[in-house]
Structure 1
Amino acid sequence: MKSLILFVLSLCLYVTASFAQSSVLPFGVALCGAEFGTENLPGLYNKNYIYPQKSEIEYFADKGVALMQLPFRWERIQHELYGPLDVEELTRIKKFLHDCDSTGVAVILNMHNFGRYKTNGIENIIGSLNVPITAFKDVWKKLSSELSGFTNIYGLDIMNEPHDMGPYSWYTTAQEVISAIRQVNVEVPIMVQGESYSNAVNWTKFNDNLKNLYDPSNRIVYNAHCYFDNDNSGRYQFSYDASGVNAQTGVEKVKPFIEWLKDNGKRGFIGEFGVPKDDARWLPMLDNFLKYLTANDISGSYWAAGQWWKSYPLSLHPIGGSDQPQMTVYAKYLQNNTNPIIALSTTVASR
């Protein structure tokens, strides 16, 4: 009997340690445009910013992409702190959700504000006197309530790349928002990015305390970003040779985050990654990176695509009907994409 008890306890520990690694999740693409025009907030639609067209969604869906990430700005969905949600902007978000749903695609909604809210041209950090945590809770509570009827939301990504938060605790802010969302929506997964631009390579240094976040629905997904250039920024300011990289650099940079997930029994996602298209030597690095993610049952979303970003060096957006070079590599990992909502429900329910 004692041996049986020890065996059961060991099995439980093994299952807990394998929390984030129990099922393969779908790879996606970020469709940009709604977060553009940050010098003009809220700005004019179709002049300062745009939303993706259904044809863009269909192009990537035809390639096997089953998950679209939509970056948007807080200042556009809510013009004043604590104010009502902007009806027109909310309609655009809902249309995107409907377009994705009719195409069989799930959505991550990503508030693209870097831990800040801009008023009168000045950015104020969440948690400060000018942008209290209660204001951040207010917008997410209203938004998650409005979107509670959609079944193709893969996750609410509460804030993109918080950084330099100073004396204001990102951990405290994230916990408060999780609790606020759960007051109106207990089903939707909540994505939490980390301090210091959510960088995968430095995740344990800046974000180890996020493992203590509590979600009564147990549906937190930790979202790290991983670029392969020398400063991890994704700007790729230097050539391949000058960057001092090799074919395994992507694996080396994402490994700390994946090991953290395993060690703490957490579920994760790589919300941004990408390589330039001007040097084919970046492609084997991307291939090895994706192979490593797949081997560890972790997926992510390529950054980025969108009709206003065709000239962006990392862009996956087709030009003249032709695929970008990065798609030749990415397509290999899209062939076996599963239905993201089924995969999500199965993964969460098993934990």
Structure 2
Amino acid sequence: MTWNRLRAVSACVALGCLLLQTGAAAGARSSILWGVAESGLELGQGPKAGTNYPIPDPAYYLQQGVRLIRLPFQIERLQPQPEGPFDPAFLHAVQRIVQLDRHDGAITVLDPHDYGFFKLGGKSEDILRNSAAATAYVDVMRRIGATFAHDDVAIGLMNEPHTGSDIAYSAIWNRAIAAIRAAGFTGVILVPHAHWSNAADISPERPFSGHIVDPRHNWVLELHLYLDPDSSGTYRQPIANAEVGRQRLSGAIAWSRQSGIKLFLGETGAPPDSMGMSALHVVLSEVATAPDVFWGIALWGAGPWWPTDYPMRLDPTNGAMRPQFAALKAAFAPR
């Protein structure tokens, strides 16, 4: 074999290895469900669509290839009377979004966005402290399980509960899981971490302490991650450094690998300034390189009613893709 031919063969072998490595990396990324949180159904007060709240349209994000739409909603709008039937118009709006998502290959995360409370007689009651509210909450979760038993959805149990510990919430979550499963739903159930679902709380030294019982063993722990100093996501204070997301996620990633329980990063986001974008890129890289840990991720906040000066707005401004969404898209569809 001549030297030139030997060099050519070696180059082909090297290129083949590179393509295999690239393909493996792309395959790992594609196992993660990348998406956005589509706000609208949880906003404002009152029952009138278009006046009190908008009905979001996921078309823009679906066209860009996302595989997950997290859909926050107020329980009271779906079920106006505790333990009563669902409102037909509101249910139709939710079902239409679920159908649109499924048509374009995306899963819908149904997210009761009520922070651990349930309205009884017009008053928000803590499901940890009011047994009637807890019973009514379990009823609505049963109805959600039955209604969407054959749809391509994941069911979140509650957005950001925060008045008790994971141990305290476990009994209610297990009642809801049992009701959802008895209603025929076999898909993924998303269990929220207490304390606003703060990802920085979880580590091997401070493990998720809830004792979750799922007859189908098909649940994922939902965590949220914001990058400002108080982790609130208000961004009234600037992000301290680009590594803050990695620092706040490292313990949860280690715990997930130790426990074998996957994570859903149900909310994360950053403002579009240079430090915000640097920090967001680090978070997205952490997720992309841990497909054994992350079931999915939803970037906050998509939806038609976020103003143009909202730090985490994802909908296009004057037709231009927002840098945060461009970063997400680059993460799930790398060149």
TM over 0.5: yes
In the alignment, structure 1 residue 34 sits paired with structure 2 residue 44:
no
In the alignment, structure 1 residue 100 sits paired with structure 2 residue 81:
no
In the alignment, structure 1 residue 163 sits paired with structure 2 residue 170:
no
Using the size of structure 2 for normalisation, the TM-score is: 0.84
In the TM superposition, residue 328 of structure 1 has moved relative to its aligned partner by 2.9
Distance 1:166 1:79, change over 3 A: farther
Distance in 1, matches of 2:232 and 2:330, equals 26
- Give the percent of matched residue pairs that are identical in Structure 1 and Structure 2: 28
In the alignment, structure 1 residue 300 sits paired with structure 2 residue 304:
no
Distance in 1, matches of 2:107 and 2:43, equals 22
Partner of 2:92: 91
Q: Show structure 2 runs of 5+ residues with no match.
A: 1-27
The aligned amino acid for 2:289 is: A
8 Å CA contact 2:29, 2:332 repeated in 1? no
Distance in 2, matches of 1:255 and 1:74, equals 33
Which residues of 2 match residues 141-180 of structure 1 at below 5 A?
141-150=142-151, 152-153=152-153, 155-165=154-164, 169-180=168-179
The aligned amino acid for 1:65 is: V
Extract structure 1 runs of 4+ deviating beyond 4 A: 204-207
The aligned amino acid for 1:304 is: G
The structure showing larger relative contact order (alpha-carbon pairs under 8 Å, at least 6 residues apart) is 1
Distance 1:186 1:91, change over 3 A: closer
What secondary structure sits across from 1:201 in the alignment?
Answer: helix
In the TM superposition, residue 165 of structure 1 has moved relative to its aligned partner by 3.5
Distance in 2, matches of 1:289 and 1:268, equals 14
Which residues of 2 match residues 178-189 of structure 1 at below 5 A?
178-189=177-188
Partner of 1:125: 126
**Larger-gyration structure (1/2):** 2
Partner of 1:223: 222
Distance in 1, matches of 2:114 and 2:170, equals 16
8 Å CA contact 1:144, 1:185 repeated in 2? yes
Which residues of 2 match residues 323-338 of structure 1 at below 5 A?
323-335=321-333
Using the size of structure 1 for normalisation, the TM-score is: 0.81
In the TM superposition, residue 33 of structure 1 has moved relative to its aligned partner by 0.5
8 Å CA contact 1:310, 1:319 repeated in 2? no
Distance in 1, matches of 2:206 and 2:135, equals 24
8 Å CA contact 1:189, 1:221 repeated in 2? yes
In the alignment, structure 1 residue 254 sits paired with structure 2 residue 258:
no
Distance 1:59 1:160, change over 3 A: same
Distance in 2, matches of 1:186 and 1:29, equals 23
Partner of 1:263: 258
What value does the CA root-mean-square deviation take over the aligned residues?
A: 2.3
Cα deviation digits, residues 99-141 of structure 1 (max 9, x gap): 2122222111100000002345532101333643221111011
What secondary structure sits across from 2:326 in the alignment?
Answer: helix
Partner of 1:114: 115
Distance in 2, matches of 1:286 and 1:59, equals 21
Distance in 1, matches of 2:244 and 2:63, equals 30
Cα deviation digits, residues 290-334 of structure 1 (max 9, x gap): 111111112311011101114321111112211112123222112
8 Å CA contact 1:227, 1:234 repeated in 2? yes
